[in-house]
Chain A
Amino acid sequence: MMHTSPLNDYDLPKIRAQFPILSRKLHNERNGGVDLVYLDNAASAQKPLAVLERIDHLYRHDYANVHRGLHSLSEAATDAYEHARQTLADFLGAPRAQDIIWTRNGSEAINLVASSFGERMHSGDNVIISGAEHHSNIVPWQILSERRGVEIRPIPIDDDGHIELDQLESLCDQKTRLIAITHISNALGMRTDIETATAFAQSRKVPILIDGCQGAVHEDVNLKDMGCDFYIITGHKLYGPSGIGALWAKQEHLESMPPYQSGGEMIRSVSLTGSTFAPPPAKFEAGTPPIAQAIGLGAALDYINAVGRKNIHAHERALTVYAAKKLRELEGIRLIGRDHSHGIVSFCLDDIHPHDVATFLDHQGVAIRAGHHCAEPVMQRFGLPGTVRASLAMYNSQQDIDTLIVALTETRKFFA
Chain B
Amino acid sequence: MSLDDLRAIYQELILDHGKSPRNFAQPQTYTHKAAGYNPVCGDQLVVYLNVNTDDHLQGCHFTGQGCAICIASASIMSEMVRDKSKAQVITLVSETKDLATGVRDEPNDAIDEDDRIRLTALSGVRMFPTRVKCATLAWHTLQAALDNVEEVSTE
A and B are interacting partners? yes
Q: Mark A336-358, 1 if CB is under 8 A from B, else 0.
A: 00000000000000001111100
Bound together, the chains give a CA A359 to CA B68 distance in angstroms of 11
- Cβ–Cβ contact A414 & B2, under 8 A: no
- Cβ–Cβ contact A355 & B67, under 8 A: yes
In the complex formed, the residue of A with least CB distance to B128 is: A359
Q: Mark A180-210, 1 if CB is under 8 A from B, else 0.
A: 0000000000000000000000000000000
- Cβ–Cβ contact B1 & A386, under 8 A: no
B interface residues with partner A (beta carbon < 8 Å):
1-3, 6-7, 10, 15, 40-43, 65-69, 128, 130-131, 134
- Cβ–Cβ contact A415 & B6, under 8 A: no
- Cβ–Cβ contact B42 & A386, under 8 A: yes
A interface residues with partner B (beta carbon < 8 Å):
27-28, 352-356, 359-360, 363-364, 371-372, 376, 379, 385-386, 410, 414-415
Partner of B1, one of A28, A354, A379: A28
Partner of A363, one of B1, B15, B43: B1
- Cβ–Cβ contact A385 & B65, under 8 A: yes
Chain A residues lying within 8 Å of B131, measured Cβ to Cβ, are 355, 359
Given A353-B66, A355-B131, A355-B134, the answer on whether A363 and B3 have CB atoms closer than 8 Å is: yes
- Cβ–Cβ contact B1 & A353, under 8 A: no
Q: List 29 contacting pairs A-B, 8 Å CB cutoff, sorted by A.
A: A27-B1, A27-B3, A28-B2, A352-B68, A353-B66, A353-B67, A353-B68, A355-B41, A355-B67, A355-B69, A355-B131, A355-B134, A356-B69, A359-B6, A359-B128, A359-B131, A363-B3, A363-B6, A364-B3, A371-B40, A371-B41, A376-B42, A379-B42, A385-B42, A385-B66, A386-B42, A410-B3, A414-B10, A415-B68
Bound together, the chains give a CA A371 to CA B42 distance in angstroms of 8
- Cβ–Cβ contact B68 & A356, under 8 A: yes
Most buried by B among A359, A364, A371: A359
- Cβ–Cβ contact A363 & B42, under 8 A: no
Within the complex, what minimum Cβ distance (angstroms) separates B46 from chain A?
16
Within the complex, what minimum Cβ distance (angstroms) separates A20 from chain B?
24
14 more contacts with CB within 8 A, not counting A27-B3, A359-B6, A414-B10, are A353-B66, A353-B68, A355-B69, A355-B134, A359-B128, A360-B3, A360-B6, A363-B1, A371-B41, A371-B42, A376-B42, A379-B42, A410-B3, A415-B68
- Cβ–Cβ contact A415 & B134, under 8 A: no
In the complex formed, the residue of B with least CB distance to A379 is: B42
Chain B residues lying within 8 Å of A410, measured Cβ to Cβ, are 3
Most buried by A among B6, B43, B65: B6
Chain B residues lying within 8 Å of A372, measured Cβ to Cβ, are 42
Bound together, the chains give a CA A236 to CA B52 distance in angstroms of 56
Chain B residues lying within 8 Å of A352, measured Cβ to Cβ, are 68
In the complex formed, the residue of B with least CB distance to A355 is: B67
Within the complex, what minimum Cβ distance (angstroms) separates B28 from chain A?
28
Partner of A415, one of B15, B41, B66: B15
Chain A residues lying within 8 Å of B41, measured Cβ to Cβ, are 355, 371, 386
In the complex formed, the residue of A with least CB distance to B131 is: A359
Bound together, the chains give a CA A352 to CA B10 distance in angstroms of 13
In the complex formed, the residue of A with least CB distance to B130 is: A359
- Cβ–Cβ contact A356 & B3, under 8 A: no
Within the complex, what minimum Cβ distance (angstroms) separates A404 from chain B?
15
Most buried by B among A353, A354, A360, A364: A353
Chain A residues lying within 8 Å of B10, measured Cβ to Cβ, are 414
Within the complex, what minimum Cβ distance (angstroms) separates A40 from chain B?
13
Sorted nearest first, the 7 A-B pairs with minimum C-beta distance are A353-B67, A355-B67, A363-B3, A356-B68, A363-B6, A356-B67, A355-B41
Bound together, the chains give a CA A385 to CA B41 distance in angstroms of 8
Given A355-B134, A386-B41, the answer on whether A363 and B2 have CB atoms closer than 8 Å is: yes
Bound together, the chains give a CA A246 to CA B98 distance in angstroms of 44
Bound together, the chains give a CA A353 to CA B7 distance in angstroms of 16
Bound together, the chains give a CA A354 to CA B3 distance in angstroms of 17
Chain B residues lying within 8 Å of A385, measured Cβ to Cβ, are 42-43, 65-66
Chain B residues lying within 8 Å of A386, measured Cβ to Cβ, are 41-42
In the complex formed, the residue of B with least CB distance to A372 is: B42
